[in-house]
Structure 1
Amino acid sequence: MENYEIDNLDKSILHALKENARTPYAELAKRFAVSAGTIHVRVEKMKQAGIIEGTQVSINAKRLGYDVCCFIGINLKHAGDYPGAIARLKEFEEVVEAYYTTGNYSIFIKVMARSIDHLQDVLINKVQTIESIQSTETLISLQNPIQRTVMP
């Protein structure tokens, strides 16, 4: 089912579920003038095609006390150090995203910390202790004015 082509009803369902993943199928059926069974079948087809990969709870990091968001560009000593560096970065709960990139950095990570002191601790006692890291550059985020997912 890799080549599943979505239509306007699928797009509408995706938009509605992205807004509130707990919306009952019966409510979606009324909204889109189809049966609840149709909604169920469409959602299952999109799951099988890998378009829908599950449901998630959106957590407000600031409400949990994580006030500092930053991005760290990492240069590795050798390209072959990538798997080991990623394995070590996965150990740190403050690292919430990681990307293997082209350009100035080998790896680009997103880190959430409770404070600047916490961030300093993460940098000195966690990230920079990884032997295969040659250097890092930290960019602190002041604001996140756009945060969305790709929609059809």
Structure 2
Amino acid sequence: MQNYEIDNLDKSILEALTENARIPYAELAKKLAVSAGTIHVRVEKMKNAGIIEGTKVSINAKNLGFDVCCFIGINLKNAKDYPETIKKLEAIEEVVEAYYTTGNYSIFIKTMTRSIDHLQMLLINKIQTIEEIQSTETLISLQNPINRDVLP
């Protein structure tokens, strides 16, 4: 990753791509009063600098039937168990995010399940069977009122 300082044009490009990653460069160029070539060059520079890591489709989990968002704080038996535990958690499809944290938990994960019964089965049959885990604390999310990307 190279050192790259973004300017106002780069910020405008990032904001537009965050809003709609599929916007054609020509349309974006017209909107920002520059050439499509300029947009292309700037996007490539930001990709090379690691600022833009790719594009992705945003999936609505609820519309796919995943109604229960849950956060689980995990305490490990030993700190050295972290890499193995992460490997095991990564194999569980309901685990959508994991963080190595300071504070009360060694690992903090986000899970998505179809129901409370599904969550219970996930905890009993998958997460709590990981031998490196000493204990867990489960927090069910009732709402996600703020969900945004970092903007420059």
Equivalent-residue separation in structure 2 for 1:150 and 1:82 (angstroms): 28
Give the aligned partner of residue 41 of structure 1.
41
Deviations 1:109-143 (A, max 9, x none): 00000000000000000000000100000000000
> Matched residues in 1 for 2:25 and 2:105: separation?
45
Partners of 2:26 and 2:83 in 1: CA distance? 46
Is 1:130 paired with 2:130?
Answer: yes
* Residue matched to 1:102: 102
Alpha-carbon distance between aligned partners in 1 of 2:29 and 2:65, rounded to the nearest angstrom? 39
Deviations 1:17-42 (A, max 9, x none): 00000000000110111000000000
* Structure 2 CA distance for aligned equivalents of residues 20 and 26 of structure 1: 14
Deviations 1:29-81 (A, max 9, x none): 10111000000000000000000000010000000000000000000000000
Q: How does 1:55-134 map to 2 (within 5 A)?
A: 55-134=55-134
Moved over 4 A (4+): none
Q: TM-score, normalised by structure 2?
A: 0.99
1:126 counterpart SS class: helix
- TM-score, normalised by the number of residues in structure 1: 0.99
Letter in structure 2 aligned against 1:17: L
1:141 and 2:141 matched: yes
5+ unaligned residues in a row in structure 2: which ranges? Answer: none
Number of residue pairs aligned between Structure 1 and Structure 2: 152
d(CA) in 2 for partners of 1:98, 1:29:
37
**1:54 aligns to what?**
54
Aligned residue identity for 2:132:
S
Q: Distance in 2 between matches of 1:52 and 1:65?
A: 30
Show the 5 A alignment for 1:18-37: 18-37=18-37
Structure 2 Cα separation of the partners of residues 148 and 77 of structure 1: 34
Residue 5 (structure 1) aligns with: 5
Quick one: which amino acid aligns to residue 95 of structure 1? V
CA distance in 2, matches of 1:81, 1:65: 33
Q: Which amino acid aligns with 2:123?
A: L
1:2 offset after TM fit, Å?
A: 2.1
- Determine the C-alpha separation between the residues in 1 that align with 2:47 and 2:3: 13
